Amino acid sequence: MYCKYILFQTMRLNVFTDYCLRTLMYVGVNQGTLVTRGDIATAYGISGNHLMKVVNWLAREGYVETVRGKGGGMQLARDPSAISIGAIVRACEAADALVECFDPATSRCRITPACRLKGILGQAMGAMYRELDQHTLADLLVRPRPLAALLHLA
């Protein structure tokens, strides 16, 4: 049981992934309205500067459209049902190897040839992504009113 606890503690999403998902949820709850980085930062109590990189990435990847200038903001660039949670998490987490041996170019782990942990962790990650691939942003927005209320939206 302790091993399973450690495994799931290890599988933690990075802050960038978390902010990407939360940004998409906020923008999705506000469909049809332009929202600003400041709106999102205030709603979640996080730094607007931290969101700059997130919003730029989401725009570059085609998840949100941005409008610059006074009265500008962002909105979803795709239907929520076309935004795969698995694809977002996979793209955001791609740079972070779960454990050292997952990146053969930099791994210096001496036990890799005899270690079975890499396979177990790989299977666990595969299961996580298979589950995430079954869900879209639309699934996260099924009950928008309670979400909007928690984000202090009208």
* 96 — pLDDT class (breaks 50, 70, 90): low
Given CATH 1.10.490.10, say whether it is the number of domain 2-95+135-149. Answer: no
Per domain, the residue ranges of the chain are: 2-95+135-149
Residue 89 and residue 140 in contact, taking contact as beta carbons nearer than 8 Å: no
The whole-model pTM stands at 0.83
- Tell me the pLDDT tens digit for each residue of 104-154: 777 788 777 888 887 888 888 889 899 999 999 999 999 888 888 888 776
- Tell me the pLDDT tens digit for each residue of 26-62: 999 999 899 999 999 999 999 988 899 999 999 999 9
DSSP state of 64: E
